[in-house]
Structure 1
Amino acid sequence: MVLEKVEGKLLWEPSRQLQENSNIKQFMTWLEETRGLSFQTYHQLWKWSVSDIEGFWSSLWHFFNIQAKTPYDEVLEERKMPGARWFSGATLNYAEHIFRHDLSEEIAVIYETEIRSQGKLTWDELKKNTAAIAEYLKSLGVKRGDRVVAYASNIHETLTAFLACASIGAVWSSCAPEFGIMSVVDRFKQIEPKVLFAVDGYRYGGKDYDRLELVKTLQEELPSLQKTIIIPYLHEHPNVDELKNAALWNDLIAKYKGATLTFEPVPFDHPLWILYSSGTTGKPKAIVHSQGGILLEHLKILSLQMDLKKGDRFFWYTTTGWMMWNVVVSGLLTGSTILLYDGNPGYPNYDTLWKFVESTKMTALGTSASFLTACMKAEVKPKEHFDLSHLKSIGSTGSPLPPSGFEWVYENVKEDVWLFSTSGGTDLCTAFVGGTPLLPVHAGELQACALGASVKAYNDRGEEVVDEIGELVITEPMPSMPIYFWGDENGMRYKESYFDVYPGIWRHGDFIKMTSRGSCIIYGRSDATINRGGIRMGTSEIYNALESIPEVVESLVVDLPITSEQSYMPLFVVLKEGVQLSDDLKTRIKQAIRQNCSPRHVPNDIFRVEELPKTLNGKKLEIPIKKILMGTPVDKAVNLGSLLNPEALQYFLEFKKNRDGR
């Protein structure tokens, strides 16, 4: 099956009923009734939200009825980046807002894994479990500001541990159990945790991975640890005799059954959790987000942009090592049921995730662009085999979804589904361009900038451009921007990460085009751009061109300068099993790039590789590979502990050696 690349093609329009019943329409009505502000279109509302930012964010505070123990003195003390201080004086608790819905016997969580059959927790059960773990943490002396970490899977116990941690004002951080030991140490050692939650192992793709030996090593590497709680997951009765100061999850739930859940009020800018940059070229940055900033931002993005309500069933395929896990947890803020899946979504085949959609009566499916394009290339047709009548929306993130991926969804999943591609970052733990139920969907485009996100495209001179590719910048502060990096005493690493190019303006590191109708197109990382003969192009444009070649599973392209006038551009492709890189296939690849990108971006050579090296979050290593091929030593070009498959680098080291030997 070959789908044409038709960027900008109209694929879907929201029904009048969807628009009128949406949360964002209710918000607009509320603004008119309470603030005297009238907006006829989404874009009018957005423009107000990024010009009167104090008015916008304070309106969210009241619209969502934020429960503060003490009121705020000022919405925004200083309108600057970095250094904006939001809602000073206010004290609140994120977890209290999770449990403020009166839904005790309703389902809060539905979960399924490769080990466990589908199960569920009511809101009352989740609250009781959270109370038990919170009481246990308090018995250990864990208090406001202490760090609690998890080396655990996307299961309900991990969710419970986080909520318990947040309820007492402790600071949470997690890594997925597929992370290698040094990757975990690089992250957790920076923040000196007091307590560790860990699974005894996990199953992925039908294969079991024991983790107790790694937990033992982790205990040795983290001298600050006082207690380790093992969650039985791979084994019913894991042996923890060789671990120091270890307890079993089930014993704690039983011992502290009947505890009452209370909530520690903390300042708006008190740390909630610590996320990490990919750490491909050095130690991962420990990014700290605030309780209040995440509470407001996630209420906005989930309720107003994704339109989640009570009765919805919200899912995003993720692990605990990716920010989308944190977003899924926040789905509970809206009163929705959240769905957790742990395992390989393509095992034993691509039907697995679609079966989960059907069996859970999922209303909102979130996944990656790579999963959707993999289903497309495997010629999966979910609508022919599964009941998807409950499914209202599909969100895609992780990388740009090509136009062909959009069309595949409407042809093979559901013709009336709201498909929104979305883009943001771990840095803000949100999407700043993405979906809205008020606007149409065009192939290859993100519908609009998110409310409160002053996103613009800048050219090389720092000027705003429309209908041109430019640097993605954010020109006004947002509450979920990091409050700081852990251990960054003078804030220099924070400033260098986002404000080194445009002082006072957040430079995200992506290429974006803002269309004249207000939609956006993401073109990949700006530091991976390819400039051939004066024509700049994001690598994602080349990858999108290859979507029409069914034999190509994945690709990676780099441009290596030879002189100021010349460069060498090799393309590396992963092919379907059994497919050879024939001259005919090379010709078709080059034709696709020539026709869809430009003749100047046709690669000099094409090479087949077994796999591409990726970060633990599954992102391709474009810049590190370029550095290695230009002669940078491996240990300087990439942090091996940050890689999912470091052995995949060997091909590129051999490639460099052979090229030098010509």
Structure 2
Amino acid sequence: MTAGDPIWTPSAEFADGSRLADYQRHLERTGLQFEDYRALWRWSTTELSEFWESITDFFDLDVTPPESVLDESRGMPHVRWFAGSTTNFAATALAEGREGTAVSSLTEDGVRSDMSWEELRLAVGAVSHWLREQGVGVGDRVVAYVPNVPEAVVCLLATASVGAVWASCAQEYAVAGALDRFGPLEPRVLIVADGYRYGGRRHDRRTQSAELAQCLGTLQQVLWLDNLGLEPAGAGARYADVVAVGRAPEFTRVPFEHPLWVLFSSGTTGRPKGIVQSHGGILLEHTKFLAFHADLRPGAVFLWLATPSWMVWNLQVSGLLVGATIATFDGSPVWPDASALWGLAEALDLDFLGASAAGLTAARRAGARPLDVAPGLRLRAIGSTGSPLPPDTARWVQSELPSVWLASASGGTDICSAFAGGIPTEPVHADRIQGPTLGVALEAWDDEGRPVVGRTGEMVVVRPLPSMPIGLWGDEDSSRYTAAYFDRYPGVWRHGDWITVTEDGGVVVHGRSDAVMNRQGVRIGSSEIYAVLDRLDTVADSLVVGVELTDGDYWMPLFVVPADQPDKHVAESFAVAVKAAIRAEASPRHVPDEVILVEALPHTRTGKRLEVPVKRVLQGADPGAVTDAASIDDPSALAAFVRWRPAGRGLSAGRRSATEDGLSRAR
């Protein structure tokens, strides 16, 4: 197999049996003809109204006929979707007539439970009735400080049922971090759990939950979930009492663009934004993505590992829209080691496992073969997101599980979905995502704002998507929303990623465009360096940035967490070996000015490297001001970069490294 060969090609049975192929045949029966997926994608991005209306028809979604599907007369971001139409997200998620298991759950200590569709409907009906009794109605906010458990799914659907607005935050967040997110929403109800499981421990969060309730001055009621069997630490109702008598759910119909939930940006480029998305927009986008680009169908068991702080958790709940059985997991997928990932997939009988790129890479490095760990594994597909999947990890997954479709995706909290993702009718290549998803008019633009193919450029979306935010919370005049996405190209969504659209329609994500390095006029994506380091067993973690110095010089340090802490003599040869590998496998331009060994590197709680915040700290910014501390796994690791500021170390033009090897060492 050469570097350009596919690592997986769908069989005729797999491709023809996909929901995407079924949809294409449906369109062709109406007189449309498509030579291949690329032709279908082009139609979906040029005939937006016809495409999105076909989604409501094909899936028989509960959306009343609109006055118009899409009004673009004012341009992005001021478009209007399905004017005059009403819907309710939860009504489709809980559609009648489904049988079997709706939600499967697993805890880190191995306890599994299943909830049928009827049990889910009755529980949602009971909680939505309780919410109405508390005075919660259309537009009110319900917030949740909870782990990834079935009760959280019930509460989200109950909130949507009454037309209220949902927001959630995982319990590993400190009270201050949760308050930063929930406080501006002025919620009427807070849902909390007694704690969560992680890393072989049970984490009691009753004190933090009670403190959060006291700090939210607009609360009228607190609902306590029993996850660890501990007594509540404050006043409020008990979930078990609320659902003791099930009720048929009642759904309040709301306008298509009525707020469904508020998501919070990861904080990698500043304070988290409250991103508001709509009932109808999420209903259409998630149905499309999960059916066509994850190939989910009724009865398929679906888990995408996430906590309620990450948009992927919301996407996972939406598996119900297409009749899938969704799974929840309360625990660490890498405990007691990274190979545990395969054991939990076996325990839940998963058809589709979604994980972070970092998690899959950790599983590869753990050395255990998936089918040795979990001989009963029956996976049909694996999804990867959160950061670019290293090609070596993609090849390893495919070699270990050759029949499994590897559906990498790249998206964002901003749309709560993927811009580019899996295509079950197309081959998979190790070095790229299969292509843009249907309805996403994705392009790479050069510095002059012209689309380019086969070359790197800014990722833009030139036509609207229904799941784009209906606004940012508290941004009454849309000025912050416009500044966040439409500042550089008016009327065109600029996402902030640096990508290449390949000749065959694939998408390579190189990293954040504001973190892309420029050495002597040559742009370098950090993923190109990480791809080399990922193959080195001596490297546990790494981060590279490019820093413009005040005197006009440019400094590109590479920070490395070694797999084993070497002594000084070994450390020097370590740096030489790292540089040699980068030179040989990338190019001389990719070789860093310094290799700096550190004990730890910071990440978001979803595993993303903090390239932009680290760069800003190195340029002199206060570590506490560059990102949201609550969203970081190790704030002290970010603060430690203060000592590596170029000015404080005497670096200037012509002096790019302290030694010939370019080695420094954190002590």
Provide TM-score, normalisation by structure 2. 0.94
In structure 1, distance between residues paired with 2:207 and 2:441: 47
Please list, as runs of the form range in 1=range in 2, the aligned pairs for 1:425-464 lying within 5 A after superposition. Answer: 425-464=412-451
Please list, as runs of the form range in 1=range in 2, the aligned pairs for 1:279-298 lying within 5 A after superposition. Answer: 279-280=267-268, 282-298=270-286
Alignment-derived partner of residue 172 in structure 1: 166
Q: CA deviation at 1:582?
A: 2.2
Please list, as runs of the form range in 1=range in 2, the aligned pairs for 1:92-491 lying within 5 A after superposition. Answer: 92-104=87-99, 106-115=100-109, 117-234=111-228, 236-240=229-233, 243-244=234-235, 246-254=236-244, 257-280=245-268, 282-387=270-375, 390-412=378-400, 414-491=401-478
Alignment-derived partner of residue 599 in structure 2: 610
Q: How many residues are aligned here?
A: 648
Cα RMSD, aligned residues only? 1.8
Q: Identify which of 37, 40, 52 aligns with 1:42.
A: 37
Which amino acid counterpart does residue 49 of structure 1 have in structure 2? Answer: S
Which amino acid counterpart does residue 486 of structure 1 have in structure 2? Answer: W
In structure 1, distance between residues paired with 2:564 and 2:573: 17
Q: CA deviation at 1:356?
A: 1.6
Alignment-derived partner of residue 15 in structure 1: 11
Q: Deviations over 1:153-193 (max 9, x none)?
A: 00000000001111111110000001111111111111111
In structure 2, distance between residues paired with 1:650 and 1:165: 39
In structure 2, distance between residues paired with 1:517 and 1:181: 48
Alignment-derived partner of residue 659 in structure 2: none
Cα gap change, 1:10/1:94 in structure 2, threshold over 3 Å: closer, same or farther?
same
In structure 1, distance between residues paired with 2:145 and 2:232: 17
Q: CA deviation at 1:359?
A: 2.3
Cα gap change, 1:493/1:375 in structure 2, threshold over 3 Å: closer, same or farther?
same
In structure 1, distance between residues paired with 2:402 and 2:204: 43
Cα gap change, 1:641/1:465 in structure 2, threshold over 3 Å: closer, same or farther?
same
Which amino acid counterpart does residue 151 of structure 2 have in structure 1? Answer: E
Q: CA deviation at 1:579?
A: 5.2
In structure 2, distance between residues paired with 1:109 and 1:420: 23
* Larger displacement relative to structure 2 (218-227 or 579-588): 579-588
Alignment-derived partner of residue 571 in structure 1: 558
In structure 2, distance between residues paired with 1:186 and 1:614: 19
Alignment-derived partner of residue 660 in structure 2: none
Q: Identify which of 578, 581, 589 aligns with 1:592.
A: 581
Q: CA deviation at 1:312?
A: 0.9
Provide TM-score, normalisation by structure 1. 0.95
Cα gap change, 1:281/1:42 in structure 2, threshold over 3 Å: closer, same or farther?
closer
Q: CA deviation at 1:403?
A: 1.0
Q: CA deviation at 1:276?
A: 0.6
Q: Percent identity?
A: 43
* Larger displacement relative to structure 2 (419-428 or 116-125): 116-125
Q: CA deviation at 1:40?
A: 2.3
Q: CA deviation at 1:594?
A: 1.2
In structure 2, distance between residues paired with 1:476 and 1:350: 40
In structure 2, distance between residues paired with 1:287 and 1:498: 12
Q: CA deviation at 1:350?
A: 2.2
Q: CA deviation at 1:212?
A: 1.6
Which amino acid counterpart does residue 476 of structure 1 have in structure 2? Answer: R
Q: CA deviation at 1:661?
A: 6.4
Q: CA deviation at 1:247?
A: 1.4
In structure 1, distance between residues paired with 2:224 and 2:577: 53
Which amino acid counterpart does residue 126 of structure 1 have in structure 2? Answer: L
In structure 2, distance between residues paired with 1:391 and 1:282: 38
Q: Deviations over 1:371-421 (max 9, x none)?
A: 111112222211233235521111110000111011110222x11111121
Q: Contact 1:394–1:418 (CA<8 Å) still a contact in 2?
A: yes
In structure 2, distance between residues paired with 1:283 and 1:560: 22
Which amino acid counterpart does residue 338 of structure 1 have in structure 2? Answer: I
In structure 1, distance between residues paired with 2:545 and 2:530: 12
Q: Contact 2:547–2:556 (CA<8 Å) still a contact in 1?
A: yes
Please list, as runs of the form range in 1=range in 2, the aligned pairs for 1:16-35 lying within 5 A after superposition. Answer: 16-34=12-30
Which amino acid counterpart does residue 309 of structure 1 have in structure 2? Answer: R
Cα gap change, 1:388/1:430 in structure 2, threshold over 3 Å: closer, same or farther?
farther
Q: Contact 2:356–2:607 (CA<8 Å) still a contact in 1?
A: no
SS of alignment partner, residue 543 of structure 1: helix
In structure 1, distance between residues paired with 2:218 and 2:109: 32
SS of alignment partner, residue 521 of structure 1: strand
Q: Contact 2:623–2:639 (CA<8 Å) still a contact in 1?
A: no
Q: CA deviation at 1:657?
A: 8.7
In structure 2, distance between residues paired with 1:16 and 1:513: 29
Q: Contact 1:101–1:335 (CA<8 Å) still a contact in 2?
A: no
Which amino acid counterpart does residue 22 of structure 2 have in structure 1? Answer: Q
Cα gap change, 1:226/1:111 in structure 2, threshold over 3 Å: closer, same or farther?
same
Q: List, as ranges, runs of 4+ consecutive aligned residues in structure 1 with deviation greater than 4 Å.
A: 577-581
In structure 1, distance between residues paired with 2:382 and 2:337: 20
Q: Contact 1:354–1:382 (CA<8 Å) still a contact in 2?
A: yes
Cα gap change, 1:72/1:658 in structure 2, threshold over 3 Å: closer, same or farther?
closer
Q: CA deviation at 1:649?
A: 2.4
SS of alignment partner, residue 326 of structure 1: helix
Q: Identify which of 84, 87, 99 aligns with 2:82.
A: 87
Q: CA deviation at 1:219?
A: 1.8
In structure 2, distance between residues paired with 1:250 and 1:289: 30
Q: Identify which of 510, 513, 518 aligns with 2:497.
A: 510
Cα gap change, 1:657/1:506 in structure 2, threshold over 3 Å: closer, same or farther?
closer
Which amino acid counterpart does residue 599 of structure 1 have in structure 2? Answer: P
In structure 1, distance between residues paired with 2:636 and 2:440: 39
Q: Deviations over 1:273-298 (max 9, x none)?
A: 10011234543210000000000000
Alignment-derived partner of residue 531 in structure 1: 518
Q: Gaps (5+ residues) in structure 2?
A: 652-667
Which amino acid counterpart does residue 177 of structure 2 have in structure 1? Answer: S
Q: Contact 1:109–1:340 (CA<8 Å) still a contact in 2?
A: yes
Q: Contact 2:44–2:439 (CA<8 Å) still a contact in 1?
A: yes
